[in-house]
A = this chain, B = another copy of it.
C-alpha cells in the first residue's frame, strides 16, 4: 500500500501493512526512520491507498507524490487508487499499531497475478536499500527482478523499471 501522511507537506511512501486477522480492525506496520514515521510522531493522519499502478509505487518509493497525483486531498486519495483506509497509528518500538477508522472502495478491479508487477515491488524493496549501501548482493537481486519485469511486465512495469534504473544507476 502507499501510505500518505502530512506534517508540513504531504508525504507518500510504500509501506507493508501486516493484517493478522482479516476480519478485525487491527493491523501493524514496520516503520523505520522515515518521513512517514516523523509525521506519525507529529500526529499526522495515516491513510493507506491500494494502488495497482507500478509507476506510482516506483515514484513514491524515491520521492513524494506531488498534489497533481491525487484525485482527492481530503481524504488523500491517489489517482487510480482502488481503495483507501484511514488508520489511527500509534508508534510502538519499530512498529506502528494501526486501527482502522474508516475507508472506502473506490474502484473494484479484479486483477490476476502479474509477475512483472510483483517484480517491480521486489526491485523497489531492494533498490531503496541499495541506494543507501550499494550492496552488490542487492544489485544482483535487482537485476534478477529486471529479467522478470522484461519477461512478464507491461508498459507501466517497464516505465517503473526505468525509474529504478535511473535512481540506482543499475542499468
Interface residues of A (CB under 8 A from B): 1, 16-18, 20, 48, 50, 82-83, 105, 108, 110-113, 115, 118, 121-122, 125, 141, 144, 148, 152, 154
Contacts and interface: CB of A to CB of B under 8 A. Distances in A.
Contact of A110 (B108, B125, B148): B108
Nearest to A121: B113
A122 B118 contact: yes
B83 A115 contact: no
A108 B113 CA distance: 15
Contacts of A108: 108, 110
Nearest to A105: B110
Contacts of A125: 115
